[in-house]
A and B are shown apart, each in its own frame.
Chain A
Amino acid sequence: MSSQLSHVFKRCADENRAALVGYLTAGDPNVSISKALMLTLAEQVDIIEIGMPFSDPAADGPVIQAASERALAAGTHISDVFAIAKEVRQTHPDIGIVLMGYANIPYTMGFDTFAQNAVDAGVDAVLLVDIPPEEGGLCDAVFQAYGLDRILLLSPTSTQERIKLVSRHASGFIYYVSLNGITGADMGDMKAIQEQVACIREHTDLPVCVGFGVKTPEQAASVAHFADGVVVGSHFVGQIPQYLSQDKVMKSSMGQAAQAMKAAVIA
């Protein structure tokens, strides 16, 4: 595990609370506002997931699809994604930074070059939604060589066998997708989620974060009771289209949303 993510989880454990993990798509609604929003979010969250916009986000719901479309329409390049990560790192040396997205972006750049750029920008880990452990031959060795953690997903459809497989290949933390669906859908039954997280813990010592569908501080608080981290994505991204012509309001609204989630996780 990269020392940075383990430090983050240790710090939260010392404070007897779960980590707050926040997601935004880089370049949404454009690079400069996105940078400001990321910095605002970084004030509150323990780990920031920086989404790499992609033309075909097949695992995302309408909110994050629209974020990718806005970012690409505004001309966001992968170099902008790294630049945003770098700025977050410079301003928040203690935060965890995860790059999240789809395989074709790093595949096209070349995993080696991609990893080099990520490390230079201060990124700690990479989460590629469509590279399951079975296809890890493309990237695992490279990420390991660069000291980048590889976050892997588990879901309600994951069998015991898959939980073992993912536990063997993941590093940093395991991201439990709390529902059979896409990002931003309605959250499943909390008790079932808790049981699944307990089941995952039988196979790994890695921290387990829960996401997909956490929309309210109440849900975040419930998840925080049994998970090592709570991931909030669509709820934060959803602030952006509401205030497209009012940058300042957008920023303060993002700040308030992040504060409310942070308070819920701490409580």
Chain B
Amino acid sequence: MREHFEYDLSIKHAPDDGGHFGQYGGRFAAETLMQPLKEIEDAFFEAWADPEFHQERLDLLKNYVGRQTPLYHAKQLTKEVGGAQIYLKREDLNHTGAHKVNNTIGQALLARRMGKKKVIAETGAGQHGVATATVAAMFNMQCDIYMGREDIRRQAPNVFRMKLLGANVIPVDSGSATLKDAVNEALRVWVASCEDTYYIFGTAAGPHPFPLMVRQFHTVIGQEARAQCLAQAGKLPNVAVACVGGGSNAVGLLHPFWDDENIRLVAVEAGGYGLNTDEHAASLAKGKPGIIHGSLSYVLDDDEGQISEAHSISAGLDYPGVGPELAHMMDIGRLDIDSATDDDALQAFKALTKAEGIIPALESSHALAAGMRIASDMTPNQIVLINLSGRGDKDLNTVMNKFGFDMEADV
């Protein structure tokens, strides 16, 4: 039987009533969406105060998703890196293979509470789409997933998974036909259908209350990791590291450590071909404050405010914006920003696979790359906690192409 875990259900470091984290966040939405967003906000706070909501949510997280996920002391990787002890939070072992389902369970329960019959979502790599389609199947809700045409091409296995789960996958051709355009399209569709449709936003960004709500649903990651680290190592980590696209797994792991002032929190952005090129997704390191998809945060855009196309080998990090709370944490000095290039991530992908027999998602490989680098400068009595946000099966095609795997020669 799975161990019982006592989660802290208080809302820490809450934004103001308008959803602002410092100067970031807010609700920069068209008038038509203001009331529907208010309804979600009210429903969320009401649900969060209701023990029955949590009972059902936590029961599903335990018996359907498989929480708690393990905290794994990666001894072999630690030895090869030669520095601090490396601990991995195994979100890859969640049902559907990534952290995303923590959020979709919570929001689907909310949608059902609000009497909505249908859910929609955007997806980039397809992980959030799969997690949404999964809960929609379980809750018997109609489900439409908006996905850029370009991403559909890159992520065929996940498209097939969503279809198997009974979702409609709707291709988006506008703009750059990637994640940001899928968000635009889902917003457009939601405007016209919000009466019976709930929009399950996939990351800790977007208009209030999404950044807060998505964070609350993901802090199970950091809360467990904190307690597990204390239990296993007898102390807290010195550094906690997570990759950042929109920021859902990062805020989920790092937020519960906010008040542990001695713990260094590190967000790792996708460096693509390098931060000195235009081909990356490092909104926090290289972007500037701007307004996109309903909130004020860091964005990658040009001198006149036109949003840029991000680049990363990992479709899940390939997003030109980032959640407002992470922008705030960076500004006040509570969050350090690091990055890993496409090549760094591929090296880390290989290293973990060989050392530990764990194939990580390319997103998580960015956190691994930076985490291993950080650990190598530390001492063996110290601990680096890395969020392994997802498993790498979905990325095998990409990696195979990169490494030039030849079936004839290599098998």
Q: Are the CB atoms of A182 and B188 closer together than 8 Å? A: yes
Say if the beta carbon of A78 comes within 8 Å of chain B: yes
Say if the beta carbon of B305 comes within 8 Å of chain A: yes
Q: Are the CB atoms of B30 and A78 closer together than 8 Å? A: no
Q: Are the CB atoms of B29 and A104 closer together than 8 Å? A: no
Say if the beta carbon of A245 comes within 8 Å of chain B: no
Q: Are the CB atoms of B31 and A153 closer together than 8 Å? A: yes
Which residue among A129, A134, A162, A185 has the maximum number of chain B CB atoms within 10 Å of its CB? A134
Q: Please give the distance in Å from A24's CB to the nearest CB on chain B.
A: 19
Say if the beta carbon of A166 comes within 8 Å of chain B: yes
Q: Are the CB atoms of B304 and A177 closer together than 8 Å? A: no
Q: Are the CB atoms of A152 and B31 closer together than 8 Å? A: yes
Q: Are the CB atoms of B305 and A107 closer together than 8 Å? A: yes
**What is the total number of residues of chain A having a CB less than 8 Å from a CB of chain B?**
44
Within 8 Å by CB of B30, from A55, A106, A153, lies A153
**What is the total number of residues of chain B having a CB less than 8 Å from a CB of chain A?**
39
Main secondary structure of the interface of A (DSSP, over half): loop
Give A109 to B180 CA distance when docked, in angstroms. Answer: 22
Q: Are the CB atoms of A134 and B291 closer together than 8 Å? A: no
Whether A104 contacts B34 in the complex (CB less than 8 A), given A56-B307, A130-B291, comes out as: no
- Stretch in B293-301, B347-355, B359-367, B379-387 touching the partner: B293-301
Q: Are the CB atoms of B291 and A103 closer together than 8 Å? A: yes
Q: Are the CB atoms of A58 and B32 closer together than 8 Å? A: no
Q: Are the CB atoms of B191 and A59 closer together than 8 Å? A: yes
Contacts of A131 in B (CB 8 A): 28
Give A69 to B175 CA distance when docked, in angstroms. Answer: 7
Within 8 Å by CB of A78, from B36, B180, B304, lies B304
Contacts of A60 in B (CB 8 A): 188
Within 8 Å by CB of A166, from B31, B32, B174, B307, lies B31
Whether A181 contacts B191 in the complex (CB less than 8 A), given A155-B32, A157-B35, comes out as: yes
Q: Are the CB atoms of B30 and A59 closer together than 8 Å? A: yes
Q: Please give the distance in Å from B185's CB to the nearest CB on chain A.
A: 8
Contacts of A193 in B (CB 8 A): none
Q: Are the CB atoms of A134 and B18 closer together than 8 Å? A: yes
Q: Please give the distance in Å from A52's CB to the nearest CB on chain B.
A: 9
Q: Please give the distance in Å from B194's CB to the nearest CB on chain A.
A: 7
Q: Mark B8-43, 1 if CB is under 8 A from A, else 0.
A: 000000000010000000111111111110000000
Whether A157 contacts B305 in the complex (CB less than 8 A), given A57-B184, A180-B191, A185-B192, comes out as: no
- Please list the 10 inter-chain residue pairs (A to B) with the smallest Cβ-Cβ separation, ordered nearest first: A108-B305, A181-B192, A153-B31, A155-B32, A104-B305, A103-B291, A58-B184, A157-B35, A55-B306, A59-B30
